Amino acid sequence: MVTKAKKLKRMIKSIWIFNWFNSCGFMDLIPVVGSRWDMERFGMIVTGTPRHADVLFIAGYQTSKSIKRAKRIYEQMPEPRVVIALGSCSMTGGMYWDSYNTIKRLSDHIPVNLYVPGCPPRPEAVFEAAEKIFQHVLEMKDE
Amino acid sequence: MNEKELIGELKSEFGIEGDIQRDRRIWITIEKENLLKVCTFLHKKNFEHLSTISVTDWPKKGTYELTYHLWSYLDKIFISIKTEISRDKPEIESLTQIWNGSAQIHERELHELFGVVFNGNPDLSPLFLEDWNSAPPFRKDFNWREYVRGKYYDRKNEREKPYFV
């Protein structure tokens, strides 16, 4: 049985991230990766494959084509997995609210744990979201 | 070869009046039946690069205007070929037999955005619009805002009411 404590223990060492960004999405996270805010000091590393990742960062608008790929990435991630959606595009469509080809609400398609608002979100907000991941793990069910 | 020589050759070969807009920039307008002939002729004249194909929608005239942009690396001449096709039955000869790779992807995109059928193109499957089931979105009479409201928003939802104002 995988308990909450075990899940938390697995994750608390460090958060490994997989990025799935469309359009200007990665602009949001460049300062977080860079030396000024430097997410690696908290052990947050960007992995090369979703199979190694704990957290999926999704930013920017998802098109009807790319959401299928996002779903596949989500399904490849091991449990416990957390999805954090960055930016206003993933919440409401943002400035693309009347685009014929973009997904308006990300949580209609994959389960999102946390939305980080902003266009783009501040690096501090991204860190606060990363901190709240542990709280979400505590809320998860035992398997 | 310079622009004037090229225009002279086009005139003697096909009877086309070319227009030199400025240095190294030529516009010609042709019938759609001549497209393949003219393009084969130009390809032999070292126009190796098909930069892009564009479609302009003229709903009042009832036509699509196709523009092919060609570039010659040897002579440094940019030539744009304009031709018109019917809007209701948009069909034209594909240029994949001349510029294979670059023509194929442009034609595929224009097929999904405007519904133009390129006869002879081996693959016209959707490029960006997977599972698209409506009119081609770049046509001017396609009301995309109405389409989006119908597909993504609910008027009865209190939070989504502002999208219908």
Written as one letter, the residue type at A25 is: G
Q: Which residue of B has its CA nearest to A104?
A: B152
Strands laid side by side in the A114-116 sheet:
A45-46, A16-21, A55-59, A82-86, A114-116
Q: Which residues of B touch A97 (CB under 8 A)?
A: 148, 163
CATH superfamily of B3-133: NADH:ubiquinone oxidoreductase Nqo5 subunit (3.30.460.80)
CA–CA min distance A56, chain B (Å): 24
Answer whether B129 sits within 8 Å of A64, measured CB to CB. yes
Stretch A77-101: mean pLDDT: 87
| Nearest CA among B2, B36, B40 for reference residue B20 | B2
pLDDT tens, A107-130? 889 999 899 988 888 888 988 988
Cis peptide bond upstream of A117, omega within 30: no
User: What pLDDT does residue B108 have?
Assistant: 92
Tokens of A12: 């608390």
Give the residue from A91, A98, A105 with the most B CB atoms within 10 Å of its CB, the best one to mutate. A98
Least CB-CB distance to A100: which of B130, B131, B144? B144
Answer whether A64 sits within 8 Å of B130, measured CB to CB. yes
Cα dihedral across residues A99, A102, A108, A113: positive or negative: negative
User: What pLDDT does residue A7 have?
Assistant: 66
User: What pLDDT does residue B83 have?
Assistant: 93
CA–CA min distance B53, chain A (Å): 22
Query: Measured between CB atoms, does A3 come within 8 Å of chain B?
Result: no
Q: Are A129 and A116 in contact (CB under 8 A)?
A: yes
Whether A57 has a pLDDT exceeding 70, the answer reads yes
pTM of the full structure: 0.80
Whether A10 has a pLDDT exceeding 80, the answer reads no
Written as one letter, the residue type at A106 is: L
Stretch A63-79: mean pLDDT: 91
Answer whether A98 sits within 8 Å of B145, measured CB to CB. yes
User: What pLDDT does residue A9 have?
Assistant: 65
Answer whether A104 sits within 8 Å of B147, measured CB to CB. no
Answer whether B152 sits within 8 Å of A64, measured CB to CB. no
Q: Which residues of A touch B153 (CB under 8 A)?
A: 104
User: What pLDDT does residue B46 have?
Assistant: 87
ipTM of the complex: 0.73
User: What pLDDT does residue A12 have?
Assistant: 61
**What distance in Å separates the CA atoms of residue A114 and residue A83, rounded to the nearest whole number?**
7
Cis peptide bond upstream of A120, omega within 30: yes
Strands in B62-116 per DSSP E: 63-72, 77-86, 91-93
CA–CA min distance B80, chain A (Å): 31
SS (H, E, C) B14-54: HCCCEEEEECCEEEEECCHHHHHHHHHHHHHCCCCEEEEEE
Confidence tier at A1 by pLDDT (50, 70, 90) = low
Q: Could you state, in order of their start, the residue ranges of all structural domains in chain A?
A: 26-135
Confidence tier at A22 by pLDDT (50, 70, 90) = confident
How many other CB atoms are found less than 10 A from the CB of residue A67?
21
Confidence tier at A143 by pLDDT (50, 70, 90) = low
Confidence tier at A11 by pLDDT (50, 70, 90) = low
Least CB-CB distance to A64: which of B131, B147, B153? B131
Query: Measured between CB atoms, does A101 come within 8 Å of chain B?
Result: yes
Residues of chain B with pLDDT below 70 are none
Whether A5 has a pLDDT exceeding 80, the answer reads no
CATH of A26-135, one of 3.40.50.12280, 1.20.950.20, 3.40.30.10, 3.40.50.720: 3.40.50.12280
Whether A78 has a pLDDT exceeding 90, the answer reads no
User: What pLDDT does residue B111 have?
Assistant: 92
pLDDT tens, A26-37? 887 888 888 888
